[in-house]
Amino acid sequence: MNQESVLSELYALREQVVGVRDSAVASVDGMLIASDTDKVRPDVLAALAAAALGLGKSTSNEVGMGELREVVTRCQSGHIVVYAIRDRSLLVVLGDEGLDIVRLHLQSRPAVSRLADILG
């Protein structure tokens, strides 16, 4: 795994999408791989994102809606979006109130694909 390439993807999301504040890539068991964060603890973000992804996957399986792609949580002052990267990793993105969620989804899908290749 090339951590520089992972960080490059995170930096690109921040540059390309208005409102992206923090992001990280982690394993599905919550181990931090790389982060681009300012105000949050990246190790805690990784662990909580893994829990959110796990809950989303369980719910998706239970209701028979196919493979989980993402979990979106809307908060009073922004969004938390967790994307599945294959079945072993995740991308978590924090956005402020001005987050362009549509652009985030458009930019994140190819980023998730590239991250899957980088992470192997």
10-residue averages of pLDDT along the chain (120 residues):
92 97 97 95 97 95 92 96 96 97 96 95
91-103 in b/e form (b: 16+ CB < 10 A) is bbbbbeeebeeee
**pLDDT attached to residue 1:** 66
**pLDDT attached to residue 104:** 97
**pLDDT attached to residue 26:** 98
Residues 32, 90 contacting (CB under 8 angstroms): no
Helical ranges in 1-120 per DSSP H: 3-16, 42-63, 101-119
pTM: 0.94
**pLDDT attached to residue 22:** 97
**pLDDT attached to residue 120:** 87
